[in-house]
Structure 1
Amino acid sequence: MIVHSFPPIIDSGCRMLVLGSMPGAASLQAHRYYWNPRNYMWRILYALFGDGREPDEAYEERLAFALRSGVALWDTIASCERKGSLDSEIRQAIPNDIPGLLADYPNVRAIVCNGSKSLAELTKHFGDHPEVRSRELIRMPSTSPIPTRDYRGLEDRLEVWKKLLEL
């Protein structure tokens, strides 16, 4: 099945761009970033920038919160073939125009890759592009709820994501 990512969520106040790979099935169905209730992204962003409060219920409020916090959201992949939600199932990925977005938003100082697939696709397609190379590139553990050898849940991922507070 061919799936397509969403438009970027960004404004001129954003100083970091968080790039996923491709939204999962629940997010694609709802047409909302990180909408699988088990995904940790919104809880991590609110823990970092919202004084620990719980994420807003309304999606529009979550997006406004991200923008007020200087965080833009997008994906490295514009479209691909994929069954389900796993990055390992992604085939024939076509990238989003990350350099073009960065040129339009020069205040973005850091590119934060949410997981290995995001970083791999970004560097494969744009690793040598001046718009990408002129920003700090940071790989963070995926906010996917799937446990890995190094990251079992929210708390251990959040500890690493706290690095963003130094930007």
Structure 2
Amino acid sequence: MAAPDARVLILGSLPGEASLAAQRYYAHPQNRFWHLVGGAIGADLASLDYDARLATLKARGIALWDTVASARRSGSLDAAIREAEHAPLADLAATLPHLRAVAFNGRKSAAIGRPQLAGSTLQLIDLPSSSPAYAAMPLAEKERLWARLGDFLG
């Protein structure tokens, strides 16, 4: 989901089993993505249906995509990703003339995406994973770090 007027691109690594089954970004009920990005833009995304969530992100200048175009993986953990083919991030960024920042949702996303966008003028932001599998950081700290996205949307 990337509209030409997007100012922020949020990149996950590869959708997990729940998201693939639902054909929706961040479909696992315990994933905190909608809460975290909603906090960054001042919208209660978690209470909206999926189409309204996407429409709100689009209206706020946020696009979603993944750093992995295809891979083999058993389960949903990033550590299980094998034979990954990377998405053409630089090509996508070139089609988004208003893009100011790229945010990586988790370490795997950053490890794959940062090298592809190195040397660009875009602000690259590493965010803690919204996945329920990443519980090492308190939610309040995740919220504080994700709130930085708002700086690029004004």
Normalising by structure 2, report the TM-score: 0.91
CA deviation vs aligned residue, 1:136-165 (integer Å, no higher than 9, x gap): 11100000012443x13x322111111122
Q: Is the 8 A contact 2:14 2:66 kept in 1?
A: yes
CA distance in 2, matches of 1:10, 1:127: 17
- Name the counterpart of 1:105: 96
* Structure 2 residue identity aligned to 1:146: A
Contact 2:5 2:97 in 1 (8 A): no
C-alpha RMSD of the superposition: 1.6
Instruction: Tell me how far apart the structure 2 counterparts of residues 49 and 43 of structure 1 sit (CA, whole Å).
Output: 10
Structure 1's 57 and 165: CA in aligned 2 closer, same or farther, altered over 3 A? Answer: closer
Task: Report if aligned partners of 2:10, 2:105 keep a CA contact under 8 Å in 1.
Answer: yes
Do the aligned residues in 1 keep the contact of 2:68 with 2:84 (CA within 8 Å)?
Answer: yes
In structure 2, give the amino acid aligned to 1:98. Answer: L
SS in 2 for 1:10: coil
Q: Which residue of 1 aligns with 2:124?
A: 137
Q: Name which structure has the greater RCO, CA cutoff 8 Å, separation 6+.
A: 2
Q: Which amino acid in 2 is paired with 1:71?
A: I
Q: Deviations over 1:11-41 (max 9, x none)?
A: 1221010000001110011010001111111
CA offset at residue 82 of structure 1? 0.3
The 5-angstrom pairing of residues 15-164 of structure 1 reads: 15-51=7-43, 53-124=44-115, 126-128=116-118, 133-149=120-136, 151-152=137-138, 154-164=139-149
Distance in 1 separating the partners of 2:130 and 2:32: 5
How far apart, in 2, do the equivalents of 1:91 and 1:140 lie? Answer: 23
Shift of 1:69: 1.4
**Structure 1 gaps, min length 5:** 1-8
Q: How many residues align?
A: 152
Deviation readout 1:32-79 (Å, 9 max, x if unpaired): 00011111111112222134x352432111100111111100000000
- Percent of aligned pairs sharing the same letter: 38
Q: 2:19·2:28 contact (CA, 8 Å) conserved in 1?
A: yes
